[in-house]
Amino acid sequence: DIDHLNLRVQKELVEWLNWLKADIGFDGWRSDFAKGYSADVAKIYIDRSEPSFAVAEIWTSLAYGGDGKPNLNQDQHRQELVNWVDKVGGKGPATTFDFTTKGILNVAVEGELWRLRGTDGKAPGMIGWWPAKAVTFVDNHDTGSTQHMWPFPSDRVMQGYAYILTHPGTPCIFYDHFFDWGLKEEIDRLVSVRTRHGIHSESKLQIIEADADLYLAEIDGKVIVKLGPRYDVGNLIPAGFKVAAHGNDYAVW
């Protein structure tokens, strides 16, 4: 174990981080298992190495009901993520992986898309509270891949990408999905829509519908995304919007 309260340990780790920046060319950090040490310690490393980007892995369990499914309200879960960023410094480069959104999205795409509208009418994950500091993802090396600890439904992965690549937050693309699953072209189309319309971490999200079989949202008044099997949504799409990407149970205008 590393004693992060030891001043020598702190000094040597900071020197190593600055060497990685100056000599190797890294400009961002990912803090693994950030629950294992305090946000105060993480703040020391970030403040003294000044990365352009830093993201923490704070993976805790969602709140579950008696039916074994996540509760609609996950405020306590996302509050923990927000608190970490607050303590490290909200004005700095620190962000966290949005495990709240990941957990809700896992279940929502299985015919429960109503979960994607929180009780306040906003996105139910960290992106609903502090999108600038939320790093969204569908799967990573722990949840998916060979470890398979908390995998996204494999036949609905593109619905996950249609969500995170059109929504606020900073989305991540999982290597396996992009290179090994044959989804490169589909994901690329969604990335190009995001880039072309300037969707960013603090884009404005307006949720139009969130029912069992339909989630429809507009982002920055420029992009509309639909998840779910319902097809009769033409009356909900404003004039002038054209389909830019589509696939199994998702479409983007």
Catalytic residues: 32, 57
| H-run or E-run covering 226 | strand 223-227
CA distance 207 to 218: 6
| H-run or E-run covering 163 | helix 157-164
Strands of the sheet with 223-227, listed across from one edge: 205-210, 215-219, 223-227, 250-252, 245-247
CA distance 58 to 33: 6
Give the angle 29-166-197 at the CA atoms, nearest 5°.
100
